[in-house]
Structure formats: C-alpha cells, structure tokens
Amino acid sequence: MQSPNHSPRIAVYPGTFDPVTNGHLDLVDRALKLFDKVVIAIGINPVKESLFTLEERLEMVRETIGTNGRVKITSFDGLLVDLADKYGACAILRGLRAVSDFDYELQRALMNRKLSREIETVFLMTGFRWIYISSTIVKEAARFGGSLEGLVPPLVEERLRKAFRE
C-alpha cells in the first residue's frame, strides 16, 4: 500500500499500435507490476503510413484494455518527453524483442535523456511467446489470409480481416 507521501510511479508506453498485439498487451500487464500507472501513448508518426486511423487505433486499444483505472490511453504528436512530463511520468517504457531493436531504442533513449534528465527509459524484454510478433508482421499475415490466432485480440483480428477485404 502506498504511503500518503508516495508519488505514483507512472510510465509512458509510446507506439503506433497499428494494430495493438498480444505482445503490446503483455508488456502493459507486466509494466503494471512495476509502475502504479501506465499511459499508453499512441503516436502520430508522419513518417509511418498507418493502416488504421488514429481514432481506430485508440478505439482498439481502449476496447482491448477495458476499464482499468491504472491505464490511461491517449495520443500525441509532439516530443515524447513533453507528454511524459505532462502526465508526471518517471519513465518511458519500451519493449525489446531482439538485439536489432536495441540499437534503435538506445538512440531514442539517449535523445530523450538529453531532452529531459528527469525521465528514465525502462526496457522490458518481450515475453518469450511474443518475441516474433510485430504489428508489421501481423498486418502482413492478415493481408495474405494467414492465421492470426493468438497474435492479436479477436476484435483486432476482425478489424484486420475487414481492412484487407475492402
């Protein structure tokens, strides 16, 4: 139990979540063991072309997370450290699947550290059963009619199937 003087430990978990996968959800569940609150921050990345609109991604994450008072779902389009500061976060949460992820994530973490010395980046290894999953791979499998069983929540699978039928 928290003492009245304890500041809640808040982590921001950024990503495009296009779409949200079971790997993302596993990371949130595990982060809730370390942090009092997790802010899922769906980024608007002008460099990436998303399959789903921002509104659709927000809706899918909300529907898959359900009502959990310890999880906040939002979007952002500026500096991640500014968003983290807005929510009083002490950490930025990132998942790592392989060594190749680390190079990219290290560069981002160092830049965020330069922009704000108050916010740490915390890396969690992806759960072993999700290590090969990425939103990109899931979309590719859906595009060609592959099985998505166990990779994404059922409602996300439905939306993917519909998106590729249209």
In the chain, beta strands by DSSP E:
10-15, 37-43, 71-76, 91-96, 120-125
Query: Structure tokens of 158?
Result: 């439905």
- For residue 163, count CB atoms less than 10 angstroms from its CB and return exposed for 0-12, middle for 13-18, buried for 19 or more: middle
Please confirm, yes or no, whether 48 is among the known catalytic residues. yes
The residue annotated as part of the active site, out of 37, 50, 57, 135, is 135
> What are the domain boundaries of the chain?
10-131
The DSSP annotation for 15-50 comes to E--TT--HHHHHHHHHHTTT-SEEEEEEE--TTSPP
Active site residue 116: no
Is 24 tagged catalytic? Answer: yes
Residue predicted with more confidence, 106 or 37: 37
User: In 10 A of CB 137, how many CB atoms?
Assistant: 13
Residue of 24, 37, 94, 159 marked catalytic: 24
Using 50, 70 and 90 to split pLDDT, how confident is the model at 52?
A: very high
Of the candidates 48, 129, 161, 162, the residue annotated as catalytic is: 48
Q: What is the mean pLDDT of residues 31-40?
A: 98
Using pLDDT thresholds of 50, 70 and 90, give the confidence band for residue 2: low
Q: Does residue 159 surpass a pLDDT of 90?
A: yes
Q: What is the pLDDT of residues 64-108, one digit of tens each?
A: 998 899 999 999 999 999 999 999 999 999 999 877 778 888 888
Instruction: pLDDT band for 61, please (50, 70, 90 cuts).
Output: very high
Give residue 12's pLDDT. Answer: 98
Cα separation, 164 vs 24, in Å, equals 22
Q: Which CATH number fits domain 10-131: 3.40.50.620, 3.40.50.150, 3.30.70.2190, 3.90.700.10?
A: 3.40.50.620
Confidence of residue 1 (pLDDT cuts 50, 70, 90): very low
> Which member of 30, 86, 97, 113 is catalytic?
97
Would you call 75 a catalytic residue per the annotation? no
Instruction: Determine the 3-state secondary structure of 80 from DSSP.
Output: helix
pLDDT recorded at residue 7: 84
- Contact in structure between 136 and 21 (CB atoms under 8 Å): no
Stated pTM of the model: 0.91
